[in-house]
Amino acid sequence: MLKSSADRSEALAATRRVKAWTRERFSLDEDVVVVVSEVACGLPGCPPLETIVAFWTAPDRRHQFKAFKRVADVTEDDLPPYWMKDAILSDGDMSCC
């Protein structure tokens, strides 16, 4: 089902907000790629929608975290604290998302 223009606008604004919070929280430069994706999960026990945030601090250093809610519902408090930056390093396996 296609989203309405208002829904797309809300999702875009929410995505920009989460990216800005991520940059600020982890002290990322403007040239660091930050990806925010809202994905559906069909596995038992998964929330119907979750937001995945990833960013790279080096070509082989991808950091990733999830919020188990729609991107429009993510708040700044859903982001991990700065001191967890190394704890959210991804092993490179993207088969889950």
Q: What is the pLDDT of residue 24?
A: 97
In a domain, 96, yes or no: no
- Cα distances from 83 to residues 7, 30, 72, 88, in angstroms, run 34, 20, 25, 10
What CA–CA distances, in Å, run from 27 to 6, 21, 33?
31, 10, 13
Q: Does 95 fall in a domain?
A: no
Q: Give residue 45's pLDDT.
A: 85
Cα separation of 4 and 7, whole Å?
5
Note the pLDDT of residue 32: 94
Residue 80, domain member (yes or no): yes
The stretches in the chain having pLDDT less than 50 are 1, 94-97
Q: What confidence score (pLDDT) does residue 95 get?
A: 46
> Does 97 reside within a domain?
no
In this prediction the pTM is 0.85
What is the pLDDT, as a whole number, of residue 97?
45
Range of the domain at 9: 5-88
Residue 64 lies in a domain: yes
Looking at the structure of the chain, the number of domains it has is 1
How many other β-carbons are positioned within 10 Å of the β-carbon of residue 74? Answer: 22
pLDDT at site 93: 54
